[in-house]
Structure 1
Amino acid sequence: MANVKTGITLFSLGTPYLKGELDLEGVIRTAAELGAEGYEIVAAQMIPSYPYVTDEFVEFIEKCREKYGIGPICYSANMDRGMLRDRDLTEDEMVARAITDIISANKLGCTVMREQYLLSPHGLERIEPYAKSYNVHVGIEIHNPESPITQSILDYVEVIEQTGSKYIGFVPDFGCFATKPNKPYWDRALAAGATVQQLEKCSQLRYDDVPMEEAMKIMESDIEKCPALGGALNSMYGFVQFKKDCKAELEGLKRIMPYCFEMHGKCHYVDENLHEVSIPYEEIVPVIAESDYSGYIVTEYEDEGGYDSIEQTTRHVAMVKKLLR
C-alpha cells in the first residue's frame, strides 16, 4: 500500500507573498500551520540568488526547519527556454541549466526536483548521471493539456524504461484529470456578461471534442456580444482542458506510478464541503492510495479567482487527508 504524506508548494501562498503580507519565513510558517509535512520551494520565485543557492540561504532554510518543523522536499525548477531575446535556448543550454538546478536542489537537501517538459526526453536522459550523482530524483511535470497517455509523455516513458534509472521520472499535476470547466474562468465570464447557457454550450463543444477553430466559429456571434466568452472558450482548449471522464488517464497514471516522485495536488476552487469542483479527487486519490507510491501529494492552489489563498490551501490539505483515511 502507499505511503502518502501531505505537503504544500509555496506557490499556493504566492499571492500573500507577492503582496508583502507574508515574507518567506511567514510563508513557511503558514505552510506548517496548515498541516504540511514538507514543502516544495518555487526556486525562481523565492530564492534571491536563483538559479544558485547561497550558504546564507541554506542557513535561513535550516533555521526555519528548526522553528517550524518542516523543510523543502522538492525543488521546483524553471526551464526558461525563452529567456533570451533573439532565440530559444538550445538543448545543450537547457541541459546545463537543469544540471545547475540539480546542484542547487541538492544543496537545499531536496531529493526531488520538478522539471518542466520544455526539457526533451533526450535532455532528461542526458542529465540522469547528474541526478544520480547528487541523489536528486528529477520528475517531468505532467501538466494539462498533457496527461499520462499523451504521446509527448509516452516519449519520456520510453526513455525512462530504456535507461532503467530510478532518478528520472514524473511529477503528475492533477489538473490533467479535470472533468469539469474551470470555476474561476467560468465565474469571470459570468461577471463580464456571459450567460450560463452560453458557457454550457461552450463546455459541451469541449466535451464533444469539437476543434477549437470550429468551436470559435459556432460561438462567433455570442463572442462578438460578450468578448469574455471568447476568453473562457479559449481557456477550455488551453491549460484548463477537461474531459467527460478521466478513466483512461487514471489507467495511464497506474502505469507510470513506479516513476512518480511527487504529485501536484492542483486545485482551482475547493468548496466548504471539501470538494474540488472541476478535478475528481474522489477518483484520483484512491488510485494513488492503492498503489505502492511513497511520497507527497503537494497542494498547489492556482490563485486565479481571487479566493482567499490560505483558506483554499487549508481546505485542499484537509480534503486530501480525508480521502486518504
Structure 2
Amino acid sequence: MTGTIKRGVSLYSFQNETFLGKMTLEDFIRTCAEMGATGIEVIGEQTFWGWPEQPVPENKITDWHALMTKYGTVPVAHDAMLDYKRYNGRVMALDEQVASMKRDIDFAAALGMRFVRSLVSVSPEVLVASAPHAEEKGIKILLEVHAPLHFDHPWIVRHAEAYEKSGSGALGFLPDMGMFLHRFPPVWKERFIRNGAPRHIADYIEKAYEDRTLSEYIVMNVREMGGEGAAMAMAETLRHNAAYEPKRMLDFMGRIHNVHGKFYEMTEDLVEPSIPYDEIVQVLKQGGYSGYICSEYEGNRWIEDAHPVESVEQVRRQQAMLARLIDEPVATTNSSARAA
C-alpha cells in the first residue's frame, strides 16, 4: 500500500514573528504557499487573539477562508489546548472537559479544519465522549503522541484500546517527530554551554546520549563530575527525550492522520542533525500514509539569546528536505519574511 504524503506548516513555527509583530497572518500563509507547503495548521491562541476566552469574530473567520482561497492553501488542524488542570484553581470535571473539547471542535469546523489536535495529557474518556460531536462536524480528534511518551507507552496503549472499543473513526493519533530524537540537538548543547555548562560535561552528555546510556546514570555521572546549574539542566533533558523507533508507527497507521514535523535545526545542506527524517519518511511511505507532514520549528528558543531567529528560512529548508524525501519537486520561489 502506498500513499501520497503532503507538505504543510504549523504556524507555531513562526512564534517569534507572531509575537514580535514582524509578520501578519497573510504573510505566513503566503510564505507557506510559496514553499509549496499548502497545508496550514494553527494553535488558536496564537493565530486568533482572544481565543478561547472570547469567541473569534465572524469577520476573522471570513478573512481566514479568504486567505485560504487566495493562496490555494488547505486548513489541516487546530491544535486545541485543553488546560484542564488550570481552571479556577481546580481540575475540570469530565463534563467540563468534554464541553471544552466540543468548543474546539466547533471552532475547527468553522475554520474548515479536518482535525483537532488533543494534548497527550487529555484522558481517553474525554476524547471518547467528544467523538460523537466530532463525527457530526466531520472532524477527527488526534491525540498528539509527544516525547517523553511514545507508541509503546501504557498511556498511549490505553488510548488505542479505548478508541477501538468505542468503534469511532473520529479518534486517532498525531505523532510528533520529536520522539525520534536519535542525536542530542547541537543547538541545545550550545545553549547549555552559553548558560554555563562546562564544554567537557556537555561533550560527555552528548556522547552518552548517542551511546544510549540510561538517563539516570548520565544524571548521576554529571553530578559526580561536579556539574551543577546548566550542566544538570542539560542532563535532565534526557529524562524527557529518547530515540524511539519510527517503525512503531506502522501498527497505528490506520489512526494516524496528521504528523508534526518537529525540528530544532536545519543545516544549509538541508539536514536535521538530531531527527532521522529519511528513516521516518520511509516508514510513513511503507505504511501508506497520505496525510500532511506539518513543519513545527522549535529551535527558536534555543538560539534567540545569541542569534537572530530566522524561522522562515529554517522552515524553507525543512520543506525542501521533505519535498526531496517524498519525491516531490521543490518550489524554487524565494520566500521572504517581508510584510506585504
Secondary structure, counterpart of 1:3 in structure 2? coil
Residue 242 of structure 1: aligned partner? 242
Greater mean deviation of Cα atoms: 103-112 or 76-85: 76-85
Is the counterpart of residue 74 in structure 1 residue 77 in structure 2? Answer: yes
Pick from 174, 177, 199: which aligns with 1:174?
A: 177
Q: Residue deviations 1:78-114, cap 9 Å, x none? A: 1112333522222222111111100111111111111
Is the counterpart of residue 256 in structure 1 residue 233 in structure 2? Answer: no
Residue 46 of structure 2: aligned partner? 45
After TM superposition, the score normalised by the length of structure 2 is 0.88
Paired with 2:199 and 2:187, the residues of 1 have a C-alpha distance of 14
Paired with 2:196 and 2:281, the residues of 1 have a C-alpha distance of 36
Residue 184 of structure 1: aligned partner? 187
Secondary structure, counterpart of 1:293 in structure 2? coil
Q: Percent identity?
A: 28
Residue 312 of structure 1: aligned partner? 314
Paired with 1:45 and 1:88, the residues of 2 have a C-alpha distance of 24
Greater mean deviation of Cα atoms: 188-197 or 309-318: 188-197
Residue 335 of structure 2: aligned partner? none
Secondary structure, counterpart of 2:105 in structure 1? helix
Secondary structure, counterpart of 1:185 in structure 2? helix
Counterpart code for 1:147: H
Is the counterpart of residue 296 in structure 1 residue 296 in structure 2? Answer: no
Mapping of 1:99-248 within 5 angstroms? 99-206=102-209, 207-211=212-216, 215-220=218-223, 222=225, 224=227, 227-238=229-240, 241-243=241-243, 246=244
Count of residues paired in the alignment: 316
- Kept in 1, the 8 Å contact 2:142–2:172? The answer is yes
Is the counterpart of residue 36 in structure 1 residue 25 in structure 2? Answer: no
Segments of structure 2 that go 5 or more residues without pairing to the other structure are 304-308, 328-340
Deviation beyond 6 Å, 4+ runs, structure 1: none
- Kept in 2, the 8 Å contact 1:91–1:119? The answer is no
Counterpart code for 1:73: V
Segments of structure 1 that go 5 or more residues without pairing to the other structure are none
Is the counterpart of residue 285 in structure 1 residue 274 in structure 2? Answer: no
- Kept in 2, the 8 Å contact 1:268–1:304? The answer is no
After TM superposition, the score normalised by the length of structure 1 is 0.91
- Kept in 2, the 8 Å contact 1:223–1:230? The answer is no
Counterpart code for 1:39: I
Greater mean deviation of Cα atoms: 262-271 or 284-293: 284-293
Superposition RMSD in Å: 1.8
The alpha-carbon distance between structure 1 residues 184 and 92, as it changes in their structure 2 partners (threshold 3 A), is farther
